[in-house]
Amino acid sequence: MNLGMIGLGTVGSSVFKRIEESKEEMQRLLKARLDVVCILVKDRDKGRKGKGELLTTTDWELFSEACTYDVVFEAMNGVDPAYTYTKALLTRGTAVVTANKKLVSEHGEELEELAQMHGTYYSYDACVAGAIPIVSALKSTLATTDVARISGILNGSTNYMLTEMTEHGRSYSEVLKEAQQLGYAEEDPTADVSGYDAWYKIRILSKLAFGSWPQEEAIGRTGLESLHHWQVQIAREHGFSMKLVAEAECDTNGKPVGRVGVALVHRSHPFYSVSGVTNGVLVEGEDIGELLFTGPGAGGAATANSVVEDFVLHERASYLRRSPRATPWSEREAKQQYAVFSSREDVSAVKHSLGERGITIHVARSYEEGALFVIEAERTSHLPYPLYRIYGEFEKQMEHTH
């Protein structure tokens, strides 16, 4: 089998290393010789380091004509030019295994259809949750399972930051700077702290869980920007940790809908113990109850492991395609619990505003800095306040007030 690689950064280098270290075992499993023929890189000198006489090039045409590839591993960042390269390869019937979550989120539907049209596959296990094999699980061992909801802590950078803020009382600016120094967050952390990274990933999981790609506007997104230190401390006093949670389910029409945002996770919920840079994915369904997948969500080695295992899975078995299936959203779960924080000056106005909208306030407690309201609501789009979804059985200790 002739293999090609596009991108030789942190992930690409780890994929190359993993292939070389596992080559004998992979060849035994696939009953074929594996040869990495050529690598397309941005910087040829950087790409050649430690690769001996292996052909590396910055020229797409040269890479494209080097051989007839069986599989190409794509590990670039961003949409372009990865989108152009991937389309060209799939059109020729070359399988592509990618770790590019943004590309898959924005063009996955088109690229999957193109792969099927040309008798090959486009696979993206490594795009979600690092070493956690959640994509493979949804494609294979859970392929006929009706999933009611899928949710996850899908960004290690923000989970590390919120863990430090909740458990150690540290400030947002302090933990962000530390996350950057430790390599958990990029120099420009926008994709992480604004929720885009988790948004890309929950769109991918939605497709796998429910059989169709969600519309962009169907998945709401907020990040950490509006979060205040005093809100974190109030949540902690009530037994909550704060997490950036992404979730998706199907509406009454069977279409995937969801949200990404900071949530209050009670100690009774499985996500409560998912701390630091760890990721967690919760799959819920009538037949399976709750399945929690946890593990390292980032890093070159973890992602490379998913890339290689994804490749082996598809080469050992026929490509498993899911038919559109969707478990409709349950009326029983129509009302969700949310926390609303109010600054000290606005407590009365917020309380009055909620009452005018017919919303019952279950918990209303004042603090020196402001107040915490806990409400139940079916529709939240009409509320002019930042909302924090509540996970866990907090209702058991609610004080019913108005």
What residues are labeled active site?
201
What contacts 24+ positions apart, CB below 8 Å, involve 188-194?
A: 189/157, 192/155, 192/157, 192/158, 193/157, 193/158, 193/161, 193/223, 193/224, 193/225, 194/221, 194/223, 194/224, 194/225
Count of alpha carbons within 13 angstroms of residue 221, beta-carbon side: 18
Q: How many residues does the chain have?
A: 402
Give the single-character DSSP code of 116.
H
Structure tokens at 213: 């790609």
The helix/strand/coil state of 291 is: strand
The helix/strand/coil state of 175 is: helix
The amino acid at residue 181 is Q
Q: What is the dihedral of CA 4, 9, 15, 19, to 10 degrees?
A: 60
